[in-house]
Structure 1
Amino acid sequence: MKLLEYTLYGPTDGFPVMSLGGSPSTRWKRPDVVESIEATGLRMVIPDRPGYGGSPRQPGRSVADAATDVANLADHLGWSTFAVTGGSGGGPHALACAALLPDRITCCAVVGGIAPLTTDGPEPTEDDEASDPRQSLTAWLAVHDPARFRARFAEGAEQIMAAVAAGGPEFPPAPGSPPGPPARDDDAAMARLTATFGSGSVDGCLDDNIAFGTPWGFNLTDVRVPTTIWHGTSDERARTHAVLLTEAMPAAESIQYAGGHVPPAAAYREILEWLRGATNATGAGR
Structure 2
Amino acid sequence: MREQVRTVDHVRTADGRLLRVECTGDPRGRPVFLLHGMPGSRVGPRPRSMFLYQRGAWLISYDRPGYGGSDRSPGRQVVDVVKDVTDVADALGIGRFAVAGRSGGAPHALACAALLPARVTRAAAMVGLAPRDAEGLDWFEGMAPSNVSEFRSAGRDPEGFAARLIPRSDAIRSDPVRLLDELRSELPDADRLIVSDTGIRTMLLLNYREALRISAYGWIDDVLALCRPWGFDPADIRVPVLLWHGEQDVFTPASHSSWLAARIPSATAVLDPEAAHFAAYSALPTVLGWLLTDPGAP
Tell me what 1:193 maps to.
Answer: 208
Does the 8 Å CA contact 1:24/1:201 hold for their aligned counterparts?
Answer: no
What stretches of structure 1 of length at least 5 have no aligned partner? Answer: 120-126
Aligned length, in residue pairs: 267
Where does 1:1-286 land on structure 2 (aligned, <5 Å)? Answer: 1-30=16-45, 32-118=47-133, 129-130=140-141, 136-145=148-157, 146-152=159-165, 154-155=167-168, 158=172, 161-162=177-178, 174=190, 177=193, 179-181=196-198, 190-196=205-211, 198=212, 200-235=214-249, 237-257=252-272, 258-263=274-279, 266-277=282-293, 279-280=294-295, 283-285=296-298
Tell me what 1:123 maps to.
Answer: none
SS in 1 for 2:106: helix
Distance in 1 separating the partners of 2:149 and 2:114: 27
Q: TM-score, normalised by structure 1?
A: 0.80
Does the 8 Å CA contact 1:14/1:41 hold for their aligned counterparts?
Answer: yes
In structure 2, the CA distance between the partners of 1:249 and 1:201, relative to structure 1 (3 Å rule), is farther
Does the 8 Å CA contact 1:40/1:272 hold for their aligned counterparts?
Answer: no
CA deviation vs aligned residue, 1:64-97 (integer Å, no higher than 9, x gap): 1100110111011111100011000101111110
Query: 68-77 or 205-214: which moved more?
Result: 205-214
CA deviation vs aligned residue, 1:80-128 (integer Å, no higher than 9, x gap): 1000110001011111100111100000000001110149xxxxxxx98
In structure 2, the CA distance between the partners of 1:207 and 1:190, relative to structure 1 (3 Å rule), is closer
SS in 1 for 2:121: strand
Pairwise CA RMSD:
3.4
Distance in 2 separating the partners of 1:76 and 1:251: 29
In structure 2, the CA distance between the partners of 1:39 and 1:46, relative to structure 1 (3 Å rule), is same
1:193 shift after superposition = 3.3
The letter of the residue matching 2:235 is T
Distance in 2 separating the partners of 1:267 and 1:163: 22
Does the 8 Å CA contact 1:150/1:206 hold for their aligned counterparts?
Answer: no
What stretches of structure 2 of length at least 5 have no aligned partner? Answer: 1-15
Distance in 2 separating the partners of 1:176 and 1:193: 18
Does the 8 Å CA contact 2:127/2:280 hold for their aligned counterparts?
Answer: no
1:227 shift after superposition = 0.3
In structure 2, the CA distance between the partners of 1:201 and 1:91, relative to structure 1 (3 Å rule), is farther
Query: 254-263 or 8-17: which moved more?
Result: 254-263
CA deviation vs aligned residue, 1:113-157 (integer Å, no higher than 9, x gap): 1110149xxxxxxx9822799x95423322432333552575486
1:54 shift after superposition = 1.0
In structure 2, the CA distance between the partners of 1:128 and 1:142, relative to structure 1 (3 Å rule), is same
Distance in 2 separating the partners of 1:54 and 1:97: 22
Does the 8 Å CA contact 1:53/1:200 hold for their aligned counterparts?
Answer: yes
Distance in 2 separating the partners of 1:200 and 1:173: 33
The letter of the residue matching 2:209 is T
